[in-house]
Amino acid sequence: MENRKWTPRILAFLCHWCGYSCADLAGTSRTSYPPSIRTIEVMCSCMVHPDWIIKALMSGLDGVMIFGCHPGECHYGTGNELAAQRQDIVSETLEEMGMEPERFSLHWVSAAEARRFAGIVSSVTEKIRRIGPNPLSGDAFSVPNLMEKPGVSGIPFIHIMDRTSYYWDGNIYNDEHTAHKALTRYFDMELEAKLVPAKQGLLIYTRRSPSAEKS
């Protein structure tokens, strides 16, 4: 199969205020872009849990994109800043899993930038076309059920420490006091949890305790 004739299957998460409105404008203004994406609308780019990205790629999709508001223009204050903080860590995790980190990307658009939206979709489509199909892909373009509770779905792993699979809770903690305070919530949920340093700050990785897995 020649990659030039192959259309990647890309899942795009669109923030309600900018990404979705921008895509809608592209449609109404008949701005063309490749038929490579399927979209899911979210209220804010920070609502896209890292588990969803991993699960989409592990389910065989060829790429995942997030479209959010430009920095400083988030309708929820700093939601897009959290999405940006997660970007490098998600890419590192994909690389650890043996998957090309370029299959995931984060982009900023305004509600009026239909041409920019179309250009990004075209550019990412070409980039993933050069990378090639996801080795885990099937024949149909099916979007997996991503909305299951993070960390207890069918995803093989987010991170492995001492041969144990842990799931990143998706949050980034800037100081140990806040992170340790957050740990107590996972203990109450009968989850095992560990605090792990990362480039951006501190992450909490969780897993089901043996007793919870048997119940």
Instruction: Extract the tokens encoding 180.
Output: 């340790």
Report the candidate in 145, 188, 142, 196 with the shortest Cα–Cα distance to residue 169: 196
Q: What is the pLDDT of residues 98-133, one digit of tens each?
A: 889 999 999 999 999 999 999 999 999 999 999 999
Q: What is the pLDDT of residues 190-209, one digit of tens each?
A: 778 888 887 778 888 887 65
Please, what is the Cα angle at 6 between 5 and 8, to 5 degrees? 145
79 dihedral zone (left: phi>0; alpha: psi -120 to 50; beta): alpha
Lowest mean pLDDT among 21-35, 44-58, 139-153, 194-208: 139-153
pLDDT, position 51: 82
Q: Looking only at Cα atoms, what is the longest distance across the chain?
A: 56
Stronger pLDDT, 199 or 158, i.e. the higher one: 199
Burial of residue 16, with CB atoms counted within 10 A of its CB: 0-12 exposed, 13-18 middle, 19 or more buried: middle
Q: Which CATH architecture has domain 6-131?
A: 3-Layer(aba) Sandwich (3.40)
Single pTM value for the model = 0.77
